[in-house]
């Protein structure tokens, strides 16, 4: 195994993976970030330019010590919003399964970072579709009274005992659509069993 499975834990709901064209020996599944939030942020950022550009030009002329200098946060907010837009448009997650190399490669990337996890077929014992108990909220003074949990359907790769000291799993998708179909497709391609736990059954704990 190359990489850290913890980098692929997330509570965010996905819209489902789409299969991209590939050869008979490969299965390529891709998920890209939501376009609606990206377009919404882009619209706000473009509208904010009507204020940010005049403020920026005025600051260049009069300096930060002038009265207009107190509005420096408008250009700063614009830069942050365009950074968020760039992040959302480049957010991507892929699952690549190669029968010839007998490897599973997971990638999680954006313009700001890239994570990769590679597993051999012999390091995977199967797949599981079950409810993760995902915790949200916050604790006050060490108390867990503010924490809440909710079940979230997920698909995980189950790892062999020799991969980790504590036999664990790798999250593939959570809260997406047609998770059973995703697990069945991957399980059939890898020739691995799929364990489907009914909703409400015992699952794995997640985090926020």
Please write the tens of the pLDDT for every residue from 58-96.
999 988 888 888 889 999 999 999 999 999 999 999 999
Residues 60 and 130 in one domain: no
pLDDT of residue 87: 92
Domain match, 67 and 103 both: no
* 41/143 same-domain check: no
Among residues 56, 72, 89, the one where a domain terminates is 89
Check: CB of residue 171 under 8 Å from CB of residue 125. Answer: no
* pLDDT above 70: residue 142: no
Tell me the C-alpha distance between 103 and 154, whole Å: 21
The total number of structural domains that make up the chain: 2
- pLDDT, tens digit (0-9, with 9 covering 90-100), for 88-130: 999 999 999 999 999 999 999 999 899 999 999 999 999 999 8
pLDDT classification of 165: cutoffs 50, 70, 90: very low
Within this chain, do residues 140 and 198 fall inside the same structural domain, yes or no? yes
Instruction: State whether 109 and 166 are in the same domain.
Output: yes
Specify whether 55 is located in the same domain as 21: no
Task: Give the domain extent around 84.
Answer: 36-89
- Of all residues in the chain, the percent with pLDDT exceeding 90 is 44
113 and 170 inside one domain: yes
- pLDDT tens profile 166-190: 458 888 888 767 888 989 999 999 9
Q: Are residues 116 and 186 in the same domain?
A: yes
> Does residue 118 share a domain with residue 155?
yes
102, 183: one domain: yes
Based on the fold, state whether residues 41 and 27 are members of the same structural domain: no
Same domain, 98 and 187: yes
């Amino acid at each position: 195994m190359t990489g850290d499975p913890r980098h692929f834990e997330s509570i965010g709901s996905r819209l489902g993976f789409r299969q991209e064209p590939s050869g008979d020996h490969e299965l390529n599944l891709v998920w890209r970030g939501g376009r609606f939030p990206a377009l919404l942020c882009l619209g706000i950022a473009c509208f904010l330019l009507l204020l940010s550009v005049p403020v920026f030009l005025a600051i260049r002329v009069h300096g930060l010590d002038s009265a207009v200098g107190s509005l420096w946060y408008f250009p700063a907010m614009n830069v942050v919003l365009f950074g968020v837009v760039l992040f959302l448009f480049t957010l991507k997650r892929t699952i690549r399964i190669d029968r010839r190399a007998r490897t599973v490669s997971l990638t999680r990337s954006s313009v700001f970072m890239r994570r990769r996890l590679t597993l051999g077929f012999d390091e995977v014992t199967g797949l599981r579709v079950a409810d993760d108990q995902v915790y949200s909220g916050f604790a006050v003074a060490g108390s867990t009274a503010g924490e809440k949990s909710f079940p979230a359907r997920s698909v995980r790769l189950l790892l062999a005992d020799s991969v980790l000291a504590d036999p664990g799993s790798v999250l593939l998708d959570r809260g997406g659509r047609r998770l059973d179909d995703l697990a069945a497709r991957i399980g059939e391609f890898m020739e691995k069993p799929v364990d489907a736990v009914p909703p409400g059954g015992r699952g794995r704990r997640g985090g926020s």
